[in-house]
Amino acid sequence: MSASEFFKKFDLTLVLATISLITLGVFAIFSATSSSEFSDQFYERHMIFGIAGVVMMLVISYLPPKHLEKVSSVLYVLSLLLLVSVLIFGKKISGQRSWFSFGGFGIQPAEFAKVATVMIVAFFLSKDSEGRNSKLGLKDTLVIAGLVLLPVALIALQPDTGTNLVFLSILIPVFLWAGMPAFFIVALIAPVIVAISAFLSDIVGNYLLYVVLAITAIGIFLFKEKQYLKIGVIVLCLIAGFGSDYVYDHLETYQQKRIMSVFDPTSDPRGSGYNVIQSKVAIGSGGLFGKGYMQGTQTQLNFIPAQWTDFIFCMVGEEFGFIGSVVLIILYLVIVIKLINNGYNARSRFLSLACIGFASVFLFHLFINIGMTVGILPVIGIPLPLLSYGVSSLLSFTIMLGIGMNAYRNRNIVF
């Protein structure tokens, strides 16, 4: 194979964006942990496993797509077994039993379950299906929802709300890509919107819930679907709206405080609001160009807990400023756009759906992580892909990108 033929099948843009983010992660973790006695462990591990992840990414890109399809069921079952095992044998950290501890390493099965779940959903949708525009029936929808909700239920027992939200974020983009009718998409989204409006009604006034319910009901009845389906969705919306208070009352106390701290961080400045306040101070003090590498006062004085994991964006904002933050976000958007583009051009329906699922995972992580660091979303413990410290997260994202590269490499082959 000539060099020109090699690069035609090699997704150089995706590789360079990945390597850039991992490299930035090494420097960011070094700065965020420079005052820690365990500093070397964090950035060195990120570098070593980052290299291993890129190698694994390249290897996966050359695997036959049919092999990836066949192994998806095995990986899914294995991920479920690991999720069950971690509930029994896992190490409890911060009230969550999410980790296997091996010496100085921690392995989080839920991170790899994200990959396996996207793959099994893509496999199921690609089986006995022709064309991207084929319609998705109610039976298929329920089966796929079950495939996603099974790991969600196991992760809820840990409990890990943030990771569960990632799994749920997979459903709608993949359903849309698979050709699900718009009515079913609305049926999935509407109860969530109503539930959020019900919570906001406690702050801005009860009228908000009633307005949203009225608009939702009118919109649903405009669809040309069977009456019982439309009534069923409206009933779900009513349950979501009036049951939100009940759900909120049964959340853990720390989860309630995190939600309330989004609207008023000063209500608990030394508790649930502390991270958000310090994070906003760090990012705001960075200005346009930042304070300079390893010159951030908030970062170097360790004002922000978990600043090398979930809050690593604060370090970027403080030391590299607005410009550095924008460059970082652009790199992520390059990856998301490439995954969507690779999915669009893939001749394999399995690879096409997998790419869309992985793109939604990346985009959800990006939106939630940055949203919580700037104080517009609750702190739910979601890492920034490839940048935050975490072996399981790093390897799972490089696996996703390897499959994305596989789609690019095989884009001219019909399966």
Task: Identify the pLDDT of residue 261.
Answer: 60
The residue with greater pLDDT, 92 or 289, is 289
Where are the extended beta strands (E) located within 50-203? 91-93, 96-102, 105-107
Domain membership of residue 319 as a residue range: 3-177+268-409
Q: Quickly list DSSP for 325-340.
A: HHHHHHHHHHHHHHHH
Cβ neighbors of 312 (< 8 A, separation 6 or more) are 25, 28, 29, 32, 383, 384, 387, 388, 389
- The arithmetic mean of pLDDT across residues 41-56, rounded, is 92
Angle, helices 12-32/312-345, rounded to nearest 10 degrees: 170
Q: What's the Cα-to-Cα distance from 62 to each of 9, 10, 57, 67, rounded to whole Å?
A: 10, 10, 9, 11
Does the pTM of the predicted model rise above 0.75? yes
Question: By the 8 A CB rule, do 20 and 363 touch?
Answer: no
Q: Label residue 25 by pLDDT band (50, 70, 90).
A: very high
* Phi/psi of residue 91, nearest 5 degrees: -90, 135
Task: Identify the pLDDT of residue 262.
Answer: 58
- Residue 150 in any domain: the answer is yes
Burial, 345: exposed, middle or buried (Cβ in 10 Å; 0-12, 13-18, 19+)?
A: middle
Which residue bears the tokens 């790899």?
112
Percent of the chain with pLDDT over 90: 33
Question: In the sheet that 96-102 helps form, which strands lie side by side, from edge to edge?
Answer: 91-93, 96-102, 105-107
381: left (phi over 0), alpha (psi -120 to 50) or beta: left
- The arithmetic mean of pLDDT across residues 1-11, rounded, is 65
Task: Identify the pLDDT of residue 260.
Answer: 64
Burial, 15: exposed, middle or buried (Cβ in 10 Å; 0-12, 13-18, 19+)?
A: middle
Closest CA to 404 of 7, 5, 47, 18: 18
Question: By the 8 A CB rule, do 342 and 408 touch?
Answer: yes
- Residue 207 in any domain: the answer is no
Task: Identify the pLDDT of residue 415.
Answer: 47
- Residue 200 in any domain: the answer is no
Task: Identify the pLDDT of residue 202.
Answer: 63
Task: Identify the pLDDT of residue 255.
Answer: 66
Closest CA to 273 of 408, 205, 372: 372
pLDDT of residue 233 exceeding 70: yes
Task: Identify the pLDDT of residue 412.
Answer: 67
Percentages of the chain per state (helix, strand, coil), in multiples of 5: 70, 5, 25
Burial, 127: exposed, middle or buried (Cβ in 10 Å; 0-12, 13-18, 19+)?
A: exposed
Q: Quickly list DSSP for 196-226.
A: HHHHHHHHH-THHHHHHHHHHHHHHHTS-S-
pLDDT tens string 347-379: 888 999 999 999 999 999 999 999 888 887 777
Cβ neighbors of 50 (< 8 A, separation 6 or more) are 22, 23, 25, 26, 386, 394
pLDDT of residue 229 exceeding 70: yes
The residue with greater pLDDT, 158 or 396, is 396
The residue with greater pLDDT, 2 or 19, is 19
Q: Which three-class secondary structure state does DSSP give residue 182?
A: helix
- Residue 320 in any domain: the answer is yes
Q: What's the Cα-to-Cα distance from 415 to each of 46, 64, 150, 341, rounded to whole Å?
A: 37, 10, 30, 18
- Residue 145 in any domain: the answer is yes
Q: What is the mean pLDDT of the chain?
A: 84
| Beta-bridge partners for 99 | 91
213 vs 394: CA distance, rounded Å: 41
Task: Identify the pLDDT of residue 91.
Answer: 78
The residue with greater pLDDT, 125 or 78, is 78
pLDDT tens string 301-322: 777 777 788 889 998 999 999 9
| Beta-bridge partners for 91 | 99
Question: By the 8 A CB rule, do 49 and 395 touch?
Answer: yes
Task: Identify the pLDDT of residue 81.
Answer: 95
pLDDT of residue 384 exceeding 90: yes
pLDDT tens string 323-349: 999 999 999 999 999 999 999 998 888
pLDDT of residue 88 exceeding 50: yes
Number of domains in the chain: 1
- The arithmetic mean of pLDDT across residues 129-158, rounded, is 75
- Residue 369 in any domain: the answer is yes
